[in-house]
Each structure stands twice: as structure tokens, then as C-alpha cells.
Structure 1
């Protein structure tokens, strides 16, 4: 038996598996665009490629890496669910996200995938939402532009190894203000 065709087949299968298991990208076609569908709190968004986080990033490749949009939407959905009374319905559309920090080019650095936290890179979100109570009356609705301009001035409520800690605190602050009982 000739070993060369077998070796080529093994190599081709290895390369194919590497290509399909690469890093997840928030702009990937297989990524969800909604969480909580069919529940009391639904959070959806359009293509993250249009978000400021990706359009204005100094490192588009790193900014698009991961599933941070889904993680933030899941977090928002869970927190709103706890904040509103049973029977209420909330629909949120995320229109734009700028995460806390930015990728900066640093001379003589060995990597450009380090997110730098500075006061000039605060977390920001633009949301459109509608809150309806159990009787069907609209409690609140509209567009909200939220930001935490002093995000580095106070202790983050999450562990330091959570890369979305400042963005989650921004969501928490908005939910406390918007859905206070």
C-alpha cells in the first residue's frame, strides 16, 4: 500500500478540523443574534460588525474575537428578568456597543492583543427597549444611550479576570435606574 495518499488524507482532515475550530468571531454567520426568544425578556441585535467596538477599533481582529456580544446579552437578559415583576415583558434591541478599553499599539511590545484601560475609553451602549406590564400597558420605552465615563474611578464588582466587568457594571447601573420598583 502506498503511504503517500494516506498521509495526504490525514493531513487534509487535520487542516479541515483546524479551520473549523478556530477562534469564534462575533461577526460569524453562525453566531446568534438574539437571546431569550419566547421568554419574558428578549434581547436582540443586528450584525456586530456595525458596532462602534469593531468599526473604530485599532485592532479589528482582536475586537471581533470571542462571543462577547452574546455574553453581554445573556447577562442583560438574566438581570432584567430578576428586576421586573412576574408577568411583565421587556424587549431590548442593542443598537451599538463600545466596550471599555481599547487595543493600543505599544512600541516594542511583543503583542498587539492587549486591551488597555484608560479614562478616554469608557464603556458605552445604545439600546432601544420596550417594557410592558402584565396588563399590557407600556411602562417605559425608547432609546437609551448609556455610558460610564468614570468607570476606572470605582472598584469593579466583578473579578479582575472578567474582561467584561466594566461593561456588565454599565448594564447593572442602567437596569437599576430603568427598572427600579
Structure 2
């Protein structure tokens, strides 16, 4: 706290703007590792559209972009510099199902306890030395998605999927990195 006050006080002097930019960089997180996310064969995904049961390429692209953006956020936060993570999203099945008979003329996604989110991922995690420290194909799901606390807002279209992705990233990627960093992996 004292360090931040000294930096901000020094920024009040002439050249304050340049100093403020330097202060922001001083508190920024270290650069993240490299993340690559791909979506092979999105036309075969189980359910990857926000608005209709048979989503168009454009609707699938919105979902894929939101998933990619969330993986980018996780990597920026938790993937150390020098590490590389490659993720292939092989299948997406969003929480809920479309029930067009609920509202005549519209596809409405109804979320029930039995319609939990699912994804199939293939990943490869490389350490800073280039060695593979984790890889595989995993089908992730969250059958308890509708119970407990979800940190994402009600308005977030991927709130259940993001919580599931967070858990996968923590249990699979962060644990392997922690084991490697501690010399156990």
C-alpha cells in the first residue's frame, strides 16, 4: 500500500501522465503464456447456438467466440509466461434445451436440472522448456450446475459453461502447472 502511495504521489509531479502509465505497468500482471483455441467441425456440435435448436454458422460463431474469449481470460490470469496451452473444442452442449412449443413461433431455451452443460476438449500443455506436461481428451460436464453459487451474472449467456470451464482449468491446467513449479511434476 505504501509503495502505491509513493508511486501515485510521484506521478503528481511534472511528467505525471508518463509516470502514471509506468505505475499502471508496475502493478500489471506478468505476461501470460501462449494459448491457442480451435473449433474443428463446429457443424457437428450437439448444441452451440444461443437462439435456436438448429443454429446457423453465425450463431455458432457467437458461442465459439464467447468460449474463446473466456479461455483467453483464464490463460491471461493463470497461464505463466513461457507455457503454451493448445485447446481443441470438439463438442459443445450448452445448458438447457430448446422447447419451441413453450412460446409459439419462438425457440426458447429452458434450463432444467437435467440439462447440464457439457464440452469435449482435447488439450496439450507445454512447459517453458517445451516438454508436454499434460495432454488428453476430456469430456467435461457439470451436473450440479444449477445448485450452489455461480459467480457469473444471470444475464451472462454462458454463465453455467464458464463456471464449468473455470473448474476444468483449475483442476486440469493449474494443478499441472503447480505440480511442475513445485518440482513434483
**TM-score scaled to structure 1, two decimals?**
0.70
* Residue 74 of structure 1 pairs with residue 69 of structure 2: yes
2:99 aligned partner: 104
1:26-37 to 2 correspondences below 5 Å: none
8 A Cα contact 1:128 1:144, kept in partner: yes
Coordinate RMSD, CA, aligned: 2.4
- State the alpha-carbon separation in 2 of the partners of residues 146 and 64 from structure 1: 25
- State the alpha-carbon separation in 2 of the partners of residues 164 and 127 from structure 1: 17
1:69: how far off? Answer: 1.1
- State the alpha-carbon separation in 1 of the partners of residues 90 and 41 from structure 2: 10
2:142 aligned partner: 148
1:79-158 to 2 correspondences below 5 Å: 79-107=74-102, 109-158=103-152
Gaps of 5+ in 1: 1-38
- State the alpha-carbon separation in 1 of the partners of residues 107 and 47 from structure 2: 14
- State the alpha-carbon separation in 1 of the partners of residues 65 and 149 from structure 2: 25
Gaps of 5+ in 2: 1-32, 179-185
- State the alpha-carbon separation in 2 of the partners of residues 63 and 119 from structure 1: 28
8 A Cα contact 1:58 1:102, kept in partner: no
- State the alpha-carbon separation in 2 of the partners of residues 175 and 40 from structure 1: 15
Distance 1:65 1:172, change over 3 A: same
1:161 aligned partner: 155
* Residue 60 of structure 1 pairs with residue 54 of structure 2: yes
SS at match of 1:95: strand
SS at match of 1:68: helix
CA-to-aligned-CA distance 1:100-129 (integer Å, 9 cap, x gap): 11111335x244322111012110010000
Find runs of 4+ consecutive structure 1 residues off by over 6 angstroms: none
* Residue 170 of structure 1 pairs with residue 164 of structure 2: yes
**TM-score scaled to structure 2, two decimals?**
0.69
8 A Cα contact 1:54 1:64, kept in partner: no
Distance 1:98 1:84, change over 3 A: same
